[in-house]
Amino acid sequence: MTSSVTIRSKRIIILIHALIWIALLLIPLLFIESQEGMRRYITFGGAHLVFIAGYFYINYLVFIPKFLLRKNFRAYIFTIVLAMVVISLINVIYDLQIHNYFFPASHHLNSVSRSVFSAIFSALFAFGLSTSIRITDEWIRNEKLRKEMETEKLTSELAFLKSQVNPHFLFNILNNICSLARKKSDDTENAIIKLSQIMRYMLYDSKDEKVSLEKEVEYLRNYIELQRMRISENVQISFIIEGKPEGHVIEPLLLIPFVENAFKHGVSYLEHSMIRIYLRIEEQNLNFQVKNNIVRKGQEPSLDDTGIGLKNVYRRLDLLYPAKHEISITDNDTVYFVDLKLWF
């Protein structure tokens, strides 16, 4: 498929080049009235246009790829100068022969000087034009290749980031269920069901580039409910949603690291603590806020033990929502507050 598209593109380019040269050759004929003038134009003007086309393509197809694109500038300049000398000689010989045919008794000095000037000017014009076009073509091609490589790198990097996220969450949730099982809690069965729902989301839905915001919200609910089962009633947990998630899509597993970070660093079994999660959904954007007390455990509250969670999500935001997100974090030693704005 790609090969056929490439062949078709080359044929179109060749056709465009042919049409341009034909147009350049025929347009002056519209302004010539006499038959003698037309004959002279074809003999001089048409031949010079053929020369210019020759200069153009020998530079475009041979000199530039062989020397200039390989950054062999000295060889390129030497070849251009040599080609101009040879071309000028051929041009002068041709012009003199034609001049003798039309003006056999006239002096040749002015004709020779005009012929040399015309040859040099034509060569400079053709070489300059072909160099400009070829360099522009190469720049466009390289830019396209660079963007393709960036896209491929971005895809690989995002896949790697997702692969980091999933095991990290899974380990924490399994630890939660393990603690419930030790206590022989009646909530163990419900926790396993919610874990299966979380696993289904992580294994299947999160493979997509985008998921429905509704599924992401349900994933948050399941995670929060699993956390409720393992912590004491001294921790006040709230999850408030304003607006409807239906009809919106989001990068999967984008919001959960903030929630996990709050549970990791905002839960105290000795004193009162709180975790407040707020999600407001509007037509073009969402606002996601997570607020929690800071419980010092000999580590910084902004990073989890593995260093994966929040560092990961910052990177994903930069890659997936450039100029379409705002995030602010407030840490006053007692309360940790994350405020994320995201435009769909």
Contacts 24+ apart (CB under 8 A), 81-87: 83/55, 83/58, 83/59, 83/123, 84/119, 84/120, 84/123, 84/124, 84/127, 87/51, 87/55, 87/119, 87/123
What would the pLDDT profile of 214-226 be if each residue is shown by its tens digit?
A: 999 999 999 898 8
pTM of the model: 0.54
**DSSP letter, residue 29:** G
Give the mean model confidence (pLDDT) for residues 253-278: 86
Residue percentage of the chain with pLDDT more than 90: 18
pLDDT > 70? residue 149 = no
Query: CA separation (Å) from 22 to 19, 29, 126, 263?
Result: 5, 11, 16, 74
Element (H, E) at 65: none
pLDDT > 80? residue 167 = no
pLDDT > 90? residue 2 = no
For residues 124 and 28, what is the distance between their CA atoms, to the nearest angstrom?
A: 22
Pairing of β 273-281 and β 285-293: antiparallel
Ordered by where they begin, the domains of the chain are 32-147 (no CATH), 232-343 (3.30.565.10)
pLDDT of residue 240: 96
The CA radius of gyration of the chain, in Å to the nearest whole number, is 36
Q: How confident is the model at residue 54 (pLDDT cuts 50, 70, 90)?
A: confident
What would the pLDDT profile of 178-211 be if each residue is shown by its tens digit?
A: 877 888 878 788 888 888 888 888 777 777 778 9
Please check whether residue 88 is in contact with residue 120, taking contact to mean a CB–CB distance below 8 angstroms: yes
pLDDT of residue 182: 84
What would the pLDDT profile of 71-100 be if each residue is shown by its tens digit?
A: 888 999 998 888 888 877 877 777 667 656
Q: How many CB atoms lie within 10 A of CB 292?
A: 26
